[in-house]
A and B are shown apart, each in its own frame.
Chain A
Amino acid sequence: MNTANLALQQTPPLSVPVRFFITAPLFGILASLLLIYIGSDIFNSRWGLNTLALTHLFTLGFVSMVMFGAILQLLPVVAGTVIPKPVLTSTIIHFLLTVGSLSLTGGFIFGYDLRIAIVLLGLSFFGFIAIVGYCLIQVKGNIIVGMRLSLLALLITGGLGIILAIRFAYGITLPLAMILVNIHLTWGLVGWVGLLIIAIAYQVVPMFQITPQYNAKLMRWLIPTLFIILLLWTLAYLWLGSNIGWISILISLGLATFVAKTLHLQIKRLRKIPDVTLDFWRVGAVGLLLSIILWIAGTIWIKLANQPFYPLLLFILFIGGFVLMVIQGMLYKIIPFLVWLHLQNQQLNPLKTMNMVRIPHMKQIIPSKLAKRQFWVYLIALSCTILALIFPNLIYLAGIILLGSFILLEYNMLKALKLYRSVLISLQ
C-alpha cells in the first residue's frame, strides 16, 4: 500500500501553489519602483496611465497571483479534489498570468500593443475559472458558494477588463467607458477579492485563532446577498447612467457586517498567543472598516468624493490596508505549513528509505521575528503612503519603504524554500 501516494493525491506538489506565492512579491517590488518613479505626479490624476499600471501591478500581479495559488492549494481541503494535471495546469496558468500582467502594465507605461496582454490574461482567467469551477461543481457548503460567486465576479471583472482593454488598444470610444471602469473595479475589488476573503475567513478565523463559529445565518446569506446587491447596483448604474448612492451604501454595510463580526469573534478567541497573522488580520479589519466609512461618507457628501485625494485614499485603504494585509498574513501560515507538510510526507513515504531527520517546525521555517519585522516595515510603508496625501513629497520615502517590505517578504519565503531544499537533501 502506498500511503504517500494517497497523501499526494490530496495535496498538490509544493511547486503548484508556491510558484504563484513567490512571484507575487516580485510584482510588489515592480509596483514600488513604479511608485517611486511616478512620485508626487500620482496625485494629479486618478486615471493616468502610470496609475493604471500601478493599480494592476497590485491587483493582478500581487493579489490575483496569490489568490490563484491559494485556491489551487485549498481545493483538496475544501472540495476533496485536485485540479487535473496539477503541475502542467499551474505552469500554464502561472505563465499566462505573469506574462499577461507584465504586458498589460508594460502596455500602459510604454504604450505597447495591449492585444497580447488581452489574449494572455483572457486565457489565464478563463482557464483558471473553468478548471476551478469544474472542481467545485459537485461539492456543497458555505465556503464553496462563496468561492463560486467570487469566481463569477472574477469572470465579470475579467470580461469588463477585456472590453476596456480592447477599447484602449483600438482607440474605440465606448459611450459608457467611465461607468464600465467603475463597474470593473467594483466587481474586482468587492466581488472577486472581497467575497473570496470573506469565504476564506469563515473557515480560517475560527480554525486558526480558535474563536466561536461565524453565525450560521450570516454565513449562509451574506455572500449571496452581497453578490445580488452588486448585480442590482450594476444594472441600475448601466440603466440610469449614474451611481445609485444608497445601493452602494448597502454593499458597504454588507462588508461592515463581515468586519464587525470578525473583530467580535477575534475578541472572543481562545488562542491568545502572539501571532503575526493575527496582527495582519486585525490591521486588515481596521483598513476595511476605514475604507467603508470613507465610502459611505463620500456617497453622502458628494463634495468629499470630488476631492482629488478621495479616490486615492479609498484605494490605499482598501487595497493596501485591507487586501494586502490579509493576504500577507495568510502567506505566513500557508508557506511554513506547506514546507513542513511536504517534508513530512517525503519522510513517511514507505516506498523510499529516508534518513530520519528531524523536520523543522513552522516557526523554524519562517521565524516569527522575521515575519514580524516585515509586518512593521509594511505597516510603516502604508502609513507613509497615507501621510503622503498631505505631504506629497513623502511618497518617495513611502515607495522606498514599500520596496523594502516586498523585498523582505520575498526573502522570508525564499529562505523557507531554501530550508526545504536542504532538509530534503538530508532526507535522501
Chain B
Amino acid sequence: MEKTITNIFSKEHTHCDEIFARTENSVVQKQWTTADAEFNDFHTAMEKHFTAEEEILFPAFEERTGQTMGPTQVMRMEHQQMRQIFAQMQTSLAQRDNEQYLGLSETLLMLMQQHNMKEEQMLYPMTDQVFGDEATSILERIRAS
C-alpha cells in the first residue's frame, strides 16, 4: 500500500476500532480485568493518534493553507468531545457498570466513526494533496515523535 497520509492514518483508525470492539465484547461478558487492560490499550492508541494529528499534522496543514478556523478546528473540537466520553467510560468501567459503559461506547462509536469518515474522505486526502511529495517527511516526523 502506498505510504500516504490517508493510508497510514486510516489504518490507525481501523486499529483503534478493533481494540474498541474487543473491549466492548469483554464488558458484555463482564470480564472486567480483560476489559480494563483493553480499554487502556484503546485509550492509549486513540490519544497517540490525536496527539500526532493535533501536534504535527494539523499545524502543518494550517501553516501551509493559512486555514486555522477550517476543518482542522472542527476535528480538534470533536477530539475534545471524544475525550469527554473516554473519561466517562473510564469511570463506568471502574464502577463495573456495564449498562452505562455500553451506552457510552455506543455514543462514542457514532461520534468516532462520523469523525473518521470526515477525516478519511476529506481532510486526509486534502493534506496529501497540499503536501504532495513532502507527505513522507511529515510521516517521518510523526514516527520520530
Question: Is B118 within 8 A of A77, CB to CB?
Answer: yes
B129 within 8 A of A: no
Give, as a whole number of angstroms, the nearest-CB distance from B88 to chain A. 8
Task: Please indicate the chain A residues that have their CB under 8 angstroms from the CB of B80 in the complex.
Answer: 348
CB <8 Å contact, B102 and A207: no
Does B40 make an interface contact (CB < 8 A)? Answer: no
Which of B25, B100, B110, B117 is most buried by chain A, counting CB atoms within 10 A of its CB?
B110
Contact with A along B19-36 (1 / 0, CB 8 A): 011101100100000000
**A220 part of interface (Cβ distance < 8 Å):** no
Kindly specify which of B47-55, B57-65, B69-77, B132-140 makes contact with the partner chain: B69-77
8 A Cβ contacts from A238-285 to B: 270-274
Over the window 74-103 of chain B, the binary record of Cβ atoms lying under 8 Å from chain A Cβ atoms (1 yes, 0 no) is 100100110010000000000000011011
Say yes or no for B106: interface residue by CB 8 A criterion.
yes
Question: What residues on B are CB-neighbors of A6 within 8 Å?
Answer: 69, 73-74, 77
Interface residue B113 (Cβ < 8 Å from any Cβ of A): yes
Contacts of B116 in A (CB 8 A): 207
Q: Give Cα A208 to B111, complex, Å.
A: 11
Residue pair B73, A3 in contact (C-beta under 8 Å)? yes
Count contacts on B: residues with CB < 8 A to the other chain.
33
| B100–chain A nearest beta-carbon distance, Å | 8
Q: Which residues of A contact B17 (CB under 8 A)?
A: 210, 270
**In the complex, how many angstroms separate the beta carbon of A304 from the nearest chain B beta carbon?**
43
A106 to B105, CA, bound (A): 45
Q: Does the CB pair B107–A337 fall under 8 Å?
A: yes
Q: How large is the interface on A (under 10, 10 to 19, 20 to 34, 35 or more residues)?
A: 20 to 34
Give the Cβ gap from A403 to chain B, nearest Cβ, in Å.
29
Measured CB to CB, the closest approach of chain A to B59, in angstroms, equals 16
From 1 to 18 in chain A, residues with beta carbon under 8 angstroms from any chain B beta carbon are 1, 3, 6-7, 9-10
Determine the chain B residues whose CB is within 8 A of the CB of A417 once the complex forms.
none
Enumerate chain A residues within 8 angstroms of B81, measured Cβ to Cβ. Answer: 344, 348
How far does the alpha carbon of A272 sit from the alpha carbon of B26 in the complex, in Å?
A: 10
Tell me if B109 and A208 are in contact (CB < 8 A). Answer: yes
Asked if residues B103 and A361 are in contact (CB atoms below 8 Å), the reply is yes
* B18:A3 contact, CB within 8 angstroms: no
The chain B residue with its CB closest to the CB of A360 is B103
B8 is an interface residue with CB less than 8 A from chain A: no
Question: CA A333 – CA B111 in complex, angstroms?
Answer: 11
Q: How far is the CA of A9 from the CA of B118 in the complex (A)?
A: 14
Known contacts A6-B73, A77-B117; 6 additional CB pairs below 8 A are: A1-B73, A3-B73, A80-B71, A273-B24, A362-B110, A363-B103
Name 30 interchain pairs, CB-CB below 8 A, sorted by A: A3-B73, A6-B69, A6-B74, A9-B74, A77-B114, A77-B118, A78-B121, A208-B110, A210-B17, A210-B20, A210-B21, A270-B21, A270-B25, A271-B24, A272-B21, A273-B24, A337-B107, A341-B111, A344-B81, A344-B84, A348-B81, A361-B100, A361-B103, A361-B107, A362-B103, A362-B106, A362-B110, A363-B99, A363-B102, A363-B106
